[in-house]
Amino acid sequence: MEHHHKIKEKGASLVEMAIIVLLFFTVVFGIIEFGLFLYNQQVITNSAREATRVAIVARDEDNPVDSDDIIEIATNYIESNIVSKANSQPNVIVKYYPRPVDISNPAYTGEDSSTLNSIKLRCGTFGDALEVEINYLYSFFFLPFAEKKMKSKAFMFCEGGPVPPP
């Protein structure tokens, strides 16, 4: 009888081990996935910041930046730094706000990138503003059908140009 009881215990420890290993790897892969997600969110955020920064620095007549340049800067930054299995393309929206900019009022109007493509941004007046918004569809590595929309905005005021009278 004693020998028969030990065989049953061997099977129980194998089942326990299978459950623990499953839980352990679920936690490990969850941590890896969460880390990749946070890294990629930071890439999206930094891309918006970099593209906005290039556009708002002092520009002269010989060195204008248009929205196509801004979109290209943001897209290239994302494509060279993102870690994702998807072939998702970022959606970059550029908005320009001439002075005076009322950022406390969410109803202010700006031009979206479809009407801004041919406009050269020169930050002609100190205090004009530029906003770059990036949307990206992230696909998870270990969850085969899960996707999450990432979004980031950068809003900066122009540094160059003459300071208008108060």
Q: Say what the pLDDT of residue 15 is.
A: 86
pLDDT confidence bin for 114, thresholds 50/70/90: very low
Mean pLDDT calculated for residue range 48-62? 79
Whether residue 29 is predicted with pLDDT greater than 70 in this model: the reply is yes
Contact between residue 48 and residue 74 where contact means Cβ atoms under 8 Å apart: yes
pLDDT of residue 2: 58
What is the separation, in whole angstroms, between the first and last Cα of the chain?
A: 98
pLDDT of residue 121: 56
Q: Is residue 2 classed as helix, strand or coil in its secondary structure?
A: helix
Q: Lowest mean pLDDT of 3-7, 91-95, 103-107, 125-129, name the range.
A: 103-107
Residue ranges of domains in the chain? 2-157
pLDDT at 133: 92
> What average pLDDT does this structure show over 134-150?
87
Is 164 or 83 the better-scoring residue by pLDDT? Answer: 83
Q: List, as one string, the DSSP characters of 39-108.
A: HHHHHHHHHHHHHHHHHHS---TTS-EEHHHHHHHHHHHHHHH---SS-PPPEEEEEEEPSSP-TT-TT-
* pLDDT, greater one: 76 or 55: 76
Q: Sheet harboring 129-139: ordered strands across?
A: 91-97, 129-139, 147-157
Q: How far is CA 70 from the centre of its chain?
A: 15
**12 vs 63, higher pLDDT:** 12
pLDDT reading at 110 higher than 50: no
Find the helix packing angle between 2-56 and 67-81, rounded to 10°. Answer: 160
pLDDT of residue 70: 86
